[in-house]
Amino acid sequence: MGSLYNEVGVFSGNANPALALAVCEYINIPQGRAQVFEFSNENIFCKIEESVRGNDIYVIQPLSTPVNRSIMELLIMIDAFKRASAGRITAVVPYYAYGRTDKKDQPRVPITARLLADMITVAGAHRLMTVDLHSGQIEGFFNIPVDNLTAIHILADYFKDKGLDNPVVVSPDLGSAKRARNFAQLINAPLAIVEKRRMGNDDRSSVLNLIGSVEGKQAILIDDEIDTAGSITQAADTVKKAGATAVYAGCVHAVLSGPAVQRLKDSCIEELVLTDTIPLQATKQLDKIKVISIARLLGEGIMRVHSGASVGAMFPKWK
């Protein structure tokens, strides 16, 4: 099926240029040329350095640290493409920040995930492509089409190739149980769940219970995001004390803020497998960390959207 638009253009902000370059290499096109930088007064400047009139444009920009600058770069780039008469603009946001603020769970708090969706839409994006939203309901915050890709099968393929003889998939909390269940289905392993309760707004949580058996098995902790690493390391200690012979972990988005790196270094986790939705800074690299690229995932998604092919056909059907 042919595209309604002219040629594909893939551009990048400053949040993860290496990922954008890898996507372009997969698609086999040159990366689009654009200047995006910050003046000394902290105002962001953007200039598209080639014609994009009528083209199908994809702006790759995870909303990672510095989060608010990454957001503004994305919005300003979208506006620049709109004013340059791009045929269609797709915001490719591998990591969607503020994903946890998807509802009013306390009095007098914002729903920032919805606010961010409105900002992206008003800026001029025609579509959003993202990876493993923290909450599926965020798709409904947009009045434009959303392709929520998943990298869980990429992590599953990695662990299948390890050839673990008696694995068990563990969800570090109840909120991640469905994701862990899907992962367990992919590697044909049983499921266990760590029950915890978050204490206030300061990232503290306490483990309450372990649902399922991990004794004598290799535990694989699966989550969509690791921020301060408190939950994942607490869960690792819990399953180790419950008799797991080895503890591995996998996650899609490696925020790794605050004490995360030290907590992971000191933990009983033998290997942590991440994707490059967020670039791993040199100061956060550990010998136990393995990074897998999602460039092929994004590249395939972009080409399918451009040609009008099914994006859903890329993924297995969950039961």
The pLDDT tens digits for 126-166 are 999 999 999 989 999 999 999 999 999 999 999 999 999 99
**Correct CATH for 152-292 of 3.40.50.80, 3.40.50.2020, 3.40.50.720, 3.40.50.970:** 3.40.50.2020
Binding site for Mg(2+): which residues?
134, 173
196 part of the active site: yes
The closest of 240, 230, 290, 288 to 260, measured between CA atoms, is 230
Binding site for D-ribose 5-phosphate: which residues?
198, 223, 227-231
Domain boundaries, the chain: 8-150+295-313, 152-292
Q: Out of 104, 196, 288, 290, which one is annotated catalytic?
A: 196
Judge if 8-150+295-313 and 152-292 fold alike in CATH terms. yes
The class of domain 8-150+295-313 in CATH terms is alpha beta
The pLDDT, as a whole number, for residue 315 is: 87
Answer with the residue of higher pLDDT: 317 or 46: 46
The pLDDT, as a whole number, for residue 209 is: 87
Q: What six digits make up the tokens of 119?
A: 């900002």
Note if the pTM is more than 0.75. Answer: yes
Tens of pLDDT, residue by residue over 176-193, are 899 999 999 999 999 999
Binding site: which residues?
41-43, 134, 173, 198, 223, 227-231
